[in-house]
Amino acid sequence: MDDIYDVYGTLDELQLFTDAVERWDVNAMDQLPEYMKLCFLALHNSINEIGYDVLRKQGLYVIPYLKKAWADLCKSYLVEAKWYYSGYTPTMQEYMDNAWISISAPVILVHAYFLEGSPASNEALKSLKEYPDIIRWSSMILRFANDLGTSSDELKRGDNPKSIQCYMYETGASEAKAREHIQYLIGEAWKKINKERGLADFPFSKTFIEVAANLARMAQCVYQYGDGYGIENGETKDRVLSLLVKPIPIYLFLPFP
């Protein structure tokens, strides 16, 4: 879906697609070009299937939460597309207000909340609609880690300015200073996550809290040496192989006879 907004869609088409996702109405497909119809139908069917599965197993009707997360994601993509077509460089605050959603972490974590299977309280469901801080801060870390690892390559491809460039444009800082500032913001976000993890009256399960924290950890691991997701490099490949494929050797030392 990201490529629809970044590569294929015109601004008018993207507005129609965003409206269709927000309405969650298959009849809205009639106004879409063919490739968008396929994407919308796949999304619509997948979310309905997940919603039915959760309803059957947990007795919760979760489709409104899932479709809102996807609508918010599409609206954030549309904002970025409008910035791109107008040549607009947002302020750092404007960028951050939109980018923590466009990195797709809220979509990931809302789905994870319902699929991990812990009982859902009314307080948690109410909080989930507006995205609790544990989701926001995890999302910001993923966004900033992604920007640190990918922004140089994406700019060469003609993509929108990322947090580094927005900070440089707004403050006149060098790229090195801007990267240092983004690292500082990551550290501040981790402080907020750790504070949330220590709250006794938090409405979410410890499992979900760790899922959110692990998403942030994963982000810093994948993007530590550049774009470890989009561009294959030795460091990321070695880490995956070491973790999942290569066994840890165990040496058994027997006592001398």
- pLDDT for position 95: 97
More confident residue, 157 or 67: 67
- For residues 161 and 169, the answer to whether their CB atoms sit within 8 Å is yes
Nearest to 209 by CA among 113, 66, 96: 113
- Portion of the chain with pLDDT greater than 90, in percent: 65
The topology (CATH level 3) of 89-229 is Farnesyl Diphosphate Synthase (1.10.600)
Give the pLDDT band of residue 221 (cuts 50, 70, 90): confident
pLDDT beyond 70 at 156: no
Residue 181, pLDDT > 70, answer yes
Confidence of residue 158 (pLDDT cuts 50, 70, 90): low
Best-predicted range by mean pLDDT (56-60, 91-95, 154-158): 91-95
What per-residue confidence (pLDDT) applies to 253?
59
pLDDT digits (tens, 9 = 90+) for 190-202: 999 999 887 767 7
In this prediction the pTM is 0.86
**CB neighbour list of residue 186: distance below 8 Å, 6 or more residues apart:** 140, 141, 144, 145, 220
Q: What's the pLDDT score for residue 117?
A: 80
**Tens digits of per-residue pLDDT, 224-247?**
766 555 556 666 677 667 767 776
Name the nearest CA neighbour of 235 among 246, 223, 247, 245.
223
DSSP state of 231: S
Q: What residue segments make up the domains of the chain, in order of their start?
A: 1-88, 89-229
> Is the alpha carbon torsion for 97, 143, 70, 38 positive or negative?
positive
Average pLDDT of the segment spanning 208-232: 80
pLDDT at site 232 = 61
